[in-house]
Amino acid sequence: MKQSKDPFEAALEEQEESPPDSPVGEDELNSQTPNEAQNQTDGGQNILVDDDDDDYDDLGPTIKNPSHPSSSSTPKLHSTSVNASVAAAVINKNKEYDDDEEEENVDVELSKFPSSADPTKMAKMQAILSQFTEDQMSRYESFRRSALQKSNMRRLLVSITGSQKISLPMTIVVCGIAKMFVGELVEKARMVMTERKESGPIRPCHIREAYRRLKLEGKVPKRSVQRLFR
Amino acid sequence: MSNPSTGASSKSKLGSSQPSETSFKRKRGVFQKDLQHMMYGFGDDPNPLPETVALVEDIVVEYVTDLAHKAQDIGSKRGKLSVEDFLYLIRKDLPKLNRCTELLSMQEELKQARKAFEVDEEKLGTLE
């Protein structure tokens, strides 16, 4: 098992790994009122269950749950406790999140640190994150939490390949690849904008130029068959 | 538009029971909401221009399509499509490859954790 987990990355992956029929996975960026209600009304064991879903999504749980039973048994809760500890610092800095799930009740066990996680890396991240401005923090949060929906990706892959058997790991991998590709596009578009000394929101012309440059660099797979009629 | 390597294009699909799902007629805005957040995270404005988002979505869909077709070409030699084919395709791109291996290992880990968690739940249930 890979133990060198960045707590925020753990949060992000946990969000991506939420089971397909879990409503939280899909609604990750939308309002979470059903989950919130669920969390606040349930007690004891139910909160334990809800922690599964919420920990997948939350960048950081906010509220301690003193009535929480032995939560030290599972490794997953270890990682979520790391999320809690780091996110507690995060939430002190930035109270305004776009997503409602930041305010949800998730168990926080500050004492349990996964000792096998990369401590220097964690310390570095903590140091950097503590110095973020509000703007930077919200952007970083968007970066970590955004993802393409697995269901949509799966539908796209099924329609492309013609085969119904698209495994979950495949969907996850393609979502990850696509997200990084979007990142490359946007970053290159920003570079293009600074070269042209323009500012403001990114315009399609910048994206097209960025795409052209990526093609020249060979980062975009070339079509073996020309797409003649779109 | 014909693609000799696969029988189905992205616009039409045969042999499936749900016509609404199969005819993936490139609906606008499939990824739009997610893409807006993602683009903000990567450096765009908090409210990206809609035409930019639409263009990025088109590019991403085309990228995934090309990637999937290439993976299918590779996978057909082996028999069926698998994750390994995608990993092979991005082998040159180190950040992507590392990220994907990380995602896969995290998924395994979470699967194990979930299994262990369910066992604990049962134990807790019997205790109480």
Would you give per-residue pLDDT tens digits along chain B (128 residues)?
444 444 444 444 444 444 444 445 556 678 888 899 999 999 888 888 999 999 999 999 999 999 998 888 888 888 888 888 888 888 888 999 999 999 999 999 999 999 988 888 888 887 76
In contact, A91 and A102? CB cutoff 8 Å = yes
What is the per-residue pLDDT for A97? Answer: 40
The list of chain A residues with pLDDT below 50 reads 1-5, 12, 16-116
What is the per-residue pLDDT for B54? Answer: 92
Nearest to B43 among A13, A155, A186 (CB): A186
Interface test with A, best of B28, B56, B58, B85 (most A CBs within 10 A): B56
Rounded (5°) CA angle A229-B4-B9: 55
**Beta carbons of A2 and B105 less than 8 Å apart:** yes
Instruction: Report the 3 state secondary structure along chain B.
Output: CCCCCCCCCCCCCCCCCCHHHHCCCCCCCCCHHHHHHHHHHHCCCCCCCHHHHHHHHHHHHHHHHHHHHHHHHHHHHHCCCCHHHHHHHCCCCHHHHHHHHHHHHHHHHHHHHHHHHHHHHHHHHHHC
Interface test with A, best of B36, B63, B86 (most A CBs within 10 A): B63
- Which tokens go with A7? 């707590």
Residue numbers in B near A107 (CB within 8 A): none
* pTM (two decimals): 0.61
Task: Name the amino acid, one letter, at A42.
Answer: D
**Beta carbons of B39 and A202 less than 8 Å apart:** yes
Residue numbers in B near A30 (CB within 8 A): 33
Rounded CA-CA distance B41/A178 in Å is: 14
A169-225 pLDDT, tens digit per residue, is 999 999 999 999 999 999 999 999 999 998 889 999 999 999 999 999 888 887 766
What is the per-residue pLDDT for A225? Answer: 66
Q: Is A174 helix (H, G, I), strand (E, B) or coil?
A: helix
**CB of B68 less than 8 A from some CB of A:** yes
Tell me the nearest-neighbour CA distance from B128 into chain A, angstroms: 10
**ipTM reported for the complex, 2 dp:** 0.77
What is the per-residue pLDDT for B128? Answer: 64
The closest of B94, B49, B9, B43 to A204, measured between CA atoms, is: B49
**CB of A173 less than 8 A from some CB of B:** yes
What is Dmax (Cα atoms) for chain A?
64
Question: What is the total residue count of chain B?
Answer: 128
Residue numbers in A near B26 (CB within 8 A): none
**CB of A111 less than 8 A from some CB of B:** no
**Beta carbons of B112 and A1 less than 8 Å apart:** yes
The structure tokens 């139910």 sit at A46
